[in-house]
Amino acid sequence: MSRLVFAALLAASPAAAHYGMIIPSDPMLSQEEGRSVDLTVSFSHPFEEDGMVLERPEAFTVTHDGETSDLLGDLTEATVMGEPGYTMTHDLERPGTHVFAMTPVPYWEPAEDAFIQHFTKTYVSAYGDDEGWDAELGLRTEIVPLTKPFGLWAGNVFQGVVHLEGEPVPFAEVEVEFYNEGQQAAAPSELMITQTIKADGNGVFTYAAPAPGWWGFAALNTAPETMDKVGAAKAVELGAVIWVRFEEWAAQ
């Protein structure tokens, strides 16, 4: 299928999956590469590189060695994929895994007749130390990695367990999407843009990424409460989002 035909199909297709995104400049920072990491923060359709408006989040934090720091004031307004988003540079003072997390303002999606709130996180290892790669932050909903979420080859399996209110979610639905930066990939069918898998009875899911790059995993659940929209009670979709980097196999 040509890219032109595929683009026409996308234009006629239903609304694509939404993802909160926190993309670091490097998920594994070495001493030689400097002592800070750049972060790009957005709300987007990652495969199409189609940005959406991200309002200033309710919270933006980094957790390292069990300590959580508030970074909300460090976010700088920026244009990401053509829409309002944020960037920031964060100094990594100590070795180990640094977990960046965002709690966004709920977003109203008319196509779904519901509000969307994606609790988003990504993991960055500093100076060759991966201590803390399995950190659970205690977010309202989150994917807790069972596989180290960096240092993976394309083709490796990533496993995580979906938590909601601190408890595993049996048979949770998980959407998977590739951050198609530079439009390097073309999908033969719109059904392959967002892939859907289900967790097992313990909330554990498994996915093998077919190509290098950033892959987003979003576990979706409906909140027990509703939110008001012009006097009507509307459902709230809670998304647990994690971004994982897979590296290209480099044979000698």
Tens-digit pLDDT profile for residues 134-151: 999 999 999 999 999 999
pLDDT of 214 > 60? The answer is yes
Evaluate whether 42 touches 83 at the Cβ level (below 8 Å): yes
What's the pLDDT score for residue 233?
97
pLDDT of 11 > 50? The answer is no
What's the pLDDT score for residue 9?
34
**How far is the C-alpha of 49 from the C-alpha of 193, rounded, in Å?**
12
Pairing, β 50-52 against β 28-29 = unpaired
The CB-side HSE value for 91 (13 A sphere, CA atoms) comes to 1
Give mean pLDDT, residues 189-194: 92
Place of tokens 């200033």: 56
* DSSP letter, residue 149: S
What's the pLDDT score for residue 139?
97
Q: What are phi and psi of 106, to 5 degrees?
A: -55, 135
What's the pLDDT score for residue 252?
62
When mean pLDDT is compared across 2-6, 163-167, 229-233, the lowest value belongs to: 2-6
What's the pLDDT score for residue 201?
98
First-to-last C-alpha distance (Å) of the chain: 35
Task: Give the CA distances from residue 132 to residues 97, 136, 137, 142, in Å, rounded to whole numbers and listed in that order.
Answer: 5, 9, 11, 16
Q: What is the pLDDT of residues 79-104, one digit of tens each?
A: 999 999 999 999 998 999 999 999 99
When mean pLDDT is compared across 9-13, 38-42, 82-86, the lowest value belongs to: 9-13
Where does the pLDDT of residue 17 fall: very low under 50, low under 70, confident under 90, or very high at 90 and above? confident
Give mean pLDDT, residues 112-122: 95
* DSSP letter, residue 55: P
pLDDT of 122 > 80? The answer is yes
Evaluate whether 112 touches 98 at the Cβ level (below 8 Å): no
